[in-house]
């Protein structure tokens, strides 16, 4: 079994250039954007050419290298600071920049600094591939026997380097010929579920049905959803999880209908410095994404628009968090702490 993104890889770094699958053009165009400087990499992350917390971290790590082989320590540091301003919520971005900065600060030989930073970026990329497989195996145990699994936004191969997080258990089961049917919320306003999740699952041969975000409750009431699994962009120390806007009401609906609600994310998505989710910074995006989707005006100019990219789901609504290390059931500050201690 191969996923769509194994033939159209999300992130490639070669010949000193950052080559990205342009996710703003999917599903109608399979095109790539090549970045040759950090300004282009910053813009690609900000515009969602590359998106998904793990993929953002990988792209930013490679983006640092766009300063060039002859760049000095100061230039690399400035690149890290600049790339960290591209998106405010996904903690993997800052985690990746911290790793690159630690390497820079601990490496004394300026003549080989580029090679050492390049090696660290490749390591981050390789670790992500292993993470995807581990989350797939750990999460599959939670959804065994489910006929229909609902997901929100895109937390698949397009959001990482391989299988993704929320979709990794689906791909793991698909590899064994046992994948459940997937309901994919459209995920308004940018339709990552309809454009991206449905594309990559259908390319991989997984049965997928797209629904508008407002249909989820009705499907649950009719008994057509056995589990919900989503990704995350930042998870606080108590298990509160920030994910694409619309995730919180989905969790409330799942709790009301007694349907298990799972979050899948690597341990580098946790921000243990934040005790609770209320402290997670929420990105506010441009009004045109709501008012003029695809350049077509739907909202009158005199009307205000609110466009937060994420909301926060309290840990009490989450049945389990799946990481590459295992499963945190009924997440709390204590159980999250134990997971990291182990």
Across-strand partners of 171? Answer: none
Cα separation, 244 vs 294, whole angstroms: 19
Cα separation, 218 vs 104, whole angstroms: 53
pTM: 0.92
Mean pLDDT of the residues in the chain? 95
Asked if 233 is an active-site residue, the reply is yes
Pairing of strands 326-329, 320-323: antiparallel
Give tens-digit pLDDT for 124-165.
999 999 999 999 999 999 999 999 999 999 999 999 988 999
Whether the pLDDT of residue 5 is over 50: the answer is no
Under the banding of pLDDT at 50, 70 and 90, the label for residue 8 is confident
Q: How many CA atoms lie within 13 A of 54 on its CB side?
A: 34
What is the C-alpha radius of gyration for the chain, rounded to an integer number of angstroms? 19
pLDDT the model gives residue 4: 47
3-state SS class at 258: coil
Give tens-digit pLDDT for 38-71.
999 999 999 999 999 999 999 999 999 999 999 9
From the list 128, 213, 233, 311, the catalytic residue is: 233
Give tens-digit pLDDT for 207-242.
999 999 999 999 999 999 999 999 999 999 999 999
């Amino acid at each position: 079994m191969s996923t769509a993104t194994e033939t159209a890889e999300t992130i490639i770094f070669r010949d000193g250039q950052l080559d990205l699958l342009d996710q703003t053009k999917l599903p109608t165009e399979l095109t790539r954007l090549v970045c040759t400087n950090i300004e282009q990499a910053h813009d690609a992350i900000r515009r969602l050419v590359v998106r998904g917390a793990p993929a953002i971290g990988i792209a930013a790590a490679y983006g640092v290298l766009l300063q060039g082989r002859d760049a000095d320590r100061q230039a690399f540091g400035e690149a890290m600071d600049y790339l960290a301003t591209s998106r405010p919520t996904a903690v993997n971005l800052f985690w990746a920049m911290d790793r690159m900065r630690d390497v820079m600060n601990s490496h004394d030989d300026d003549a080989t600094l580029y090679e050492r930073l390049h090696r660290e970026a490749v390591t981050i990329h390789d670790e992500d591939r292993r993470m995807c497989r581990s989350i797939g195996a750990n999460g599959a145990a939670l959804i065994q026997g489910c006929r229909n699994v609902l997901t929100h936004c895109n937390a698949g191969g397009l959001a990482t380097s391989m299988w993704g997080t929320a979709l990794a258990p689906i791909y793991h089961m698909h590899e064994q010929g046992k994948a459940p049917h997937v309901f994919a919320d459209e995920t308004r306003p940018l339709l990552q579920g309809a454009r991206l999740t449905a594309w990559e699952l259908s390319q991989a041969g997984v049965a997928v049905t797209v629904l508008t975000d407002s249909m989820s409750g009705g499907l649950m009431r009719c008994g057509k959803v056995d589990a919900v699994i989503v990704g995350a962009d930042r998870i606080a120390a108590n298990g509160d999880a920030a994910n694409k806007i619309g995730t919180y009401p989905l969790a409330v609906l799942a709790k009301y209908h007694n349907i298990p609600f799972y979050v899948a994310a690597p341990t580098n998505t946790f921000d243990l410095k934040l005790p609770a989710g209320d402290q997670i910074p929420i990105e506010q995006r441009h009004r045109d994404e709501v008012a003029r989707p695809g350049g077509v005006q739907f909202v009158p100019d005199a009307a205000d628009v609110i466009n937060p990219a994420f909301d926060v789901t309290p840990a009490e609504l989450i049945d389990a968090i799946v990481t590459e290390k295992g499963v945190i059931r009924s997440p709390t500050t204590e159980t999250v702490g134990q997971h990291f201690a182990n």
